[in-house]
């Protein structure tokens, strides 16, 4: 039996009787109920959208606003509905909105960005207004606004970082560029303007052939192909400039993506014209040579092979932090100043030129200064005197301080391998370290483990406290990770709040579990964020490998990721261990 809705009308008649009329209004009630349910559904949907959604009447009064929109304005929904835009946002914010509202009232959709001033600071919004006409022809406005403050902050930070990097590269007295695999410029520093008279921005997208011409391009193409094949290439060439020509020393370093593919080259050209001029002047008098060397910041050396004594010009002593004066030193004592890692290479190159296998001696190496620091020098020379039997008697040349160049090369290398925020290895260096660990594990039959970690609910930290606080949490998280592992272990940041740890030379899964538990416990102490303490936890996935074969990188990462997923499913703030099964069927084990 189906119930019906009835509407009754009672009318009193003149003879004290009444007349009753009834009609079935069930269909109308069903429509009203459907409308009510649809409105409730609309409210549920819009209240869960992380953006402002609103509907304005012709007189700019709010007919509808969702919960996110009300929270953006710091009010309750019921405090906004029925009030005008001016009342809700205030005169200053309304002034920026009014022209766009007027435009949409004419029937034109509008999308724009603006600043929204609130008591707690400025928020950046991207707003879209859409017109809607009702049955009477009145224009209502549909509003959709996204809070893009975080994006704006990231853009500003990126712009500042790029400006700092540009400031560094533009002040380096050398040509610096980035060349893609098609031999086209993707970056060039300000020195291109100073040396070649060419705006560095005009080089972007141009090929080396286009800039230097067919003949010069043909002479350097061999070096480009070697570098793109994976070698760090050094060579010298004459470079025609806006004024005269420079002799430059060129270094090409390959740039690899996270998969290890070479995607471009870092190119550094140092002006070594002064060195070449000094070498050409070697036959002139000692006074003229001394003046030339001093002006070019080079130090002269002259080795007497018969006595094994080496003479140095005054600039050498100054380079090492001593007084500016000439000096003579025994070769055995000079060798003790060379870095132990570099000495075998230096001695081999000296032997080559002394024996006549090469004409010139050319070596980059480190020497110890008077305060115990290591100074990078470029040492060049040749045998200038031989006896009638061809035995070398004297070897002369120059030493140049290349510490700045080496520091710049190291900086470029760090930028390519280390995470700028935490100083930990990035994904590219992690992949190299993981492959190296697997290879060592196979060679030494030593078990190892891989840990994948992330910070529980890190997005809420960023959303509630801001990205500066989020960055501080990441830095402190990284510090605690380093304190929780051995010096021989690798801690890396893969991106966002995702970290990884490589553990080598283990004996059992329990060692990896002990370290994972230590890490979880290390995060239990509150993180200090200014005047407030923040509770931060982590979830850890552990993949243990008892018998490395050298080719399990992808499988090991997948196992650790599955274990991390299980740690999160287990309530977070814990770790889970997965043990490798067959090659193609990894199964996580708690």
Do the Cβ atoms of 266 and 412 come closer than 8 Å? yes
> Which residues fall within 8 angstroms of residue 296, CB to CB, at 6 or more apart?
274, 275, 277, 278
User: Residue 47 and residue 188: Cα distance in Å, rounded?
Assistant: 49
- Backbone torsions φ then ψ of 444, nearest 5 degrees: -100, 0
Q: Which two tokens stand for residue 502?
A: 């490589």
Q: Which two tokens stand for residue 80?
A: 């906004």
The catalytic position among 401, 454, 456, 497 is 497
Span between the terminal Cα atoms of the chain, in Å? 57
User: Residue 358 and residue 312: Cα distance in Å, rounded?
Assistant: 23
- Strand residue runs (E) in 216-326: 233-240, 245-256, 262-271, 298-304, 309-312
The DSSP secondary structure of 568-581, one letter per residue, reads HHTTSSSEEEE---
Do the Cβ atoms of 167 and 146 come closer than 8 Å? no
| Half-sphere exposure at residue 184, Cβ-oriented, CA atoms within 13 angstroms | 7
Residue 70 to residues 54, 145, 192, 467: CA-CA distances in angstroms? 9, 12, 54, 23
The DSSP secondary structure of 447-461, one letter per residue, reads -EEEEEEEETTHHHH
Pairing label, strands 575-578, 538-545: parallel
Q: Which two tokens stand for residue 100?
A: 């766009």
Is 120 labeled as catalytic in the residue annotation?
A: no
Q: For the purposes of burial, counting CB atoms within 10 Å of the CB of 102, is it exposed (0-12), middle (13-18) or buried (19 or more)?
A: exposed
Helix (H, G, I), strand (E, B) or coil at 536: coil
- Please report which residue ranges of 8-132 form alpha helices under DSSP H: 26-47, 67-72, 77-80, 85-89, 91-105
Catalytic residues: 497
């Amino acid at each position: 039996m189906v119930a019906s809705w009835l509407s009754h009308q009672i009318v009193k008649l003149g003879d004290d009787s009444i007349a009753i009329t009834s009609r079935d209004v069930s269909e109308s009630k069903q429509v009203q109920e459907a409308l009510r349910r649809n409105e409730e559904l609309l409210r549920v949907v819009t209240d869960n959208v992380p953006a402002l959604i609103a509907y304005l009447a012709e007189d700019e009064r709010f007919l509808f606003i969702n919960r996110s929109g009300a929270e953006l304005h710091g009010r309750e929904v019921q405090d906004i509905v029925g009030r005008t835009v001016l009342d809700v946002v205030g005169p200053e914010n309304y002034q920026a909105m009014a022209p766009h509202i007027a435009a949409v009232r004419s029937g034109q959709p509008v999308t724009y960005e603006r600043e929204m001033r609130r008591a707690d600071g400025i928020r950046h919004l991207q707003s879209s207004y859409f017109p809607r006409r009702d049955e009477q022809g009145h224009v209502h406005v549909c509003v959709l606004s996204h809070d893009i403050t975080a994006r704006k902050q990231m853009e500003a930070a990126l712009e500042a970082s790029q400006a700092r990097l540009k400031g560094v590269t533009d002040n380096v007295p050398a040509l610096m560029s980035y060349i893609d695999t098609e031999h086209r410029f993707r970056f060039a520093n300000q020195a291109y303007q100073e040396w070649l008279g060419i705006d560095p921005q005009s080089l972007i997208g141009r090929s080396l052939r286009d800039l230097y011409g067919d003949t010069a391009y043909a002479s350097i193409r061999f070096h480009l192909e070697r570098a793109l094949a994976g070698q760090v290439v050094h060579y010298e060439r004459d470079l025609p400039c806006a004024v005269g020509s420079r002799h430059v020393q060129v270094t090409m370093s390959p740039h690899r993506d996270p998969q290890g593919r070479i995607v471009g080259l870092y190119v550094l050209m140092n002006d070594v014209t002064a060195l070449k001029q000094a070498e050409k002047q070697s036959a002139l008098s000692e006074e003229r040579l001394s003046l030339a060397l001093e002006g070019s910041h080079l130090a002269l050396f002259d080795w007497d092979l018969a006595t094994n004594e080496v003479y140095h010009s005054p600039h050498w002593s100054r380079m090492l932090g001593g007084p500016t004066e000439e000096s003579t030193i025994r070769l055995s004592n000079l060798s003790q100043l060379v870095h132990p890692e570099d000495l075998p290479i230096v001695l081999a190159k000296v032997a080559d030129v002394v024996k006549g296998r090469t004409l010139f001696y050319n070596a980059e190496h480190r020497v110890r200064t008077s305060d115990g620091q290591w100074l990078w020098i470029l040492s060049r020379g040749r045998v200038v005197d031989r006896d009638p039997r061809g035995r070398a008697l004297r070897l002369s040349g120059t030493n140049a301080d290349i510490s700045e160049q080496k520091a710049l090369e190291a900086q470029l290398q760090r930028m390519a391998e280390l995470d700028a925020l935490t100083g930990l290895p990035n994904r590219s260096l992690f992949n190299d370290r993981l492959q190296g660990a697997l290879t060592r594990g196979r060679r030494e039959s030593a078990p190892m483990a891989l840990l994948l970690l992330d910070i529980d609910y890190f997005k809420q930290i960023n959303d509630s406290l801001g990205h500066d606080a989020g960055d501080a949490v990441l830095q402190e998280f990284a510090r605690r990770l380093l304190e929780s592992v051995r010096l021989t272990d690798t801690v890396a940041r893969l991106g966002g709040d995702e970290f990884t740890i490589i553990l080598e030379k283990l004996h059992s899964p329990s060692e990896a579990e002990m370290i994972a538990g230590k890490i979880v416990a290390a995060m239990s102490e509150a993180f200090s964020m200014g005047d407030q303490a923040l509770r931060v936890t982590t979830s850890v996935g552990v993949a243990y490998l008892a018998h490395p074969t050298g080719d399990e990188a992808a499988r090991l990462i997948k196992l650790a990721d599955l274990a991390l997923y299980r740690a999160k499913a287990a309530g977070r703030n814990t770790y889970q261990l997965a043990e490798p099964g067959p090659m193609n069927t990894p199964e996580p084990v708690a």
